[in-house]
């Protein structure tokens, strides 16, 4: 599951809530494995939160929905200040690499009509492998949204200023070196002859 957002009235002042309340709430649900939070070096949204789970069914389980429908006062206070939220429940379709990187590159995309199969083939057969062939890139992942699960109504969703956006496809690349991440973005992703999303 991925969640990108901006926040009003403060710069990074929700980190204590995320580290000390939100993370333990989520990982305390059976099937949650770990959570990560990243801050953008450029562009929007300001923050990216990612949780890994045993299976997509964990994200529609009663235990998880019970948690989402009973937010704590601290959660209510923080989520009411979130803006430009994108919350997508995803399947991991392909993943290369064995590490967890210091830097994350996230790319949301939607294939143009009629080009989905070609774009998917390029991502899985070429792009991910080219990414992890760069020395300091330790992982490259391709995820697709479960739109039905992503639209499940909850009390937490009502706290945000508008409905969450949902990404169609997501590519996540992670590595140790900022320059290598920039090279992936400019040389591999945006200058590729592949079909454009």
Mean pLDDT to the nearest integer, 163-189: 84
pLDDT band at 22 (very low <50, low <70, confident <90, very high): confident
Secondary structure in 3-state letters for the chain: CEEEEEECCCCCCCHHHHHHHHHHHHHCCCCEEEEEEEECCCCCCCEEEEEEECCHHHHHCHHHHHHHCCCCHHHHHHHCCEEEEEEECEEEEEEECCCCCCEEEEEEECCCCCCHHHHHHHHHHHHHHHHHCCCCEEEEEEEEECHHHHCCCCHHHHHCCCCCECCCEEEEEEECCHHHHHHHHHHHHCCCCCCCC
What is residue 12's predicted lDDT score, i.e. its pLDDT?
Answer: 56
Tell me: pLDDT of 13 over 70. no
Tell me: pLDDT of 62 over 80. yes
| pTM metric for this prediction | 0.84
pLDDT band at 188 (very low <50, low <70, confident <90, very high): low
Mean pLDDT to the nearest integer, 153-166: 88
Tell me: pLDDT of 80 over 70. yes
Tell me: pLDDT of 48 over 70. yes
What is residue 117's predicted lDDT score, i.e. its pLDDT?
Answer: 94
């Amino acid at each position: 599951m991925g969640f990108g957002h901006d926040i009003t009235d403060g710069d990074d002042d929700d980190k204590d809530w995320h580290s000390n309340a939100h993370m333990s709430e989520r990982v305390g649900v059976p099937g949650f494995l770990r959570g990560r939070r990243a801050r953008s070096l450029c562009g929007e949204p300001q923050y990216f939160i990612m949780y890994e789970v045993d299976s997509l069914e964990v994200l529609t389980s009663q235990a998880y929905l019970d948690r989402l429908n009973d937010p704590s006062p601290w959660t209510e206070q923080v989520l009411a200040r979130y803006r430009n939220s994108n919350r997508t429940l995803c399947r991991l379709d392909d993943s290369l690499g064995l590490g967890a990187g210091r830097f994350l590159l996230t790319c949301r995309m939607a294939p143009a009509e009629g080009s989905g199969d070609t774009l998917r083939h390029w991502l899985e057969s070429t792009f991910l492998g080219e990414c992890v062939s760069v020395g300091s890139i330790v992982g490259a992942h391709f995820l697709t949204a479960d739109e039905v699960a992503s639209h499940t109504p909850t009390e937490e969703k009502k706290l945000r200023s508008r409905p969450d956006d949902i990404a169609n496809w997501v590519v996540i690349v992670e590595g140790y070196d900022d320059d290598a991440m920039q090279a992936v973005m400019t040389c591999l992703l945006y200058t590729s002859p592949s079909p454009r999303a």
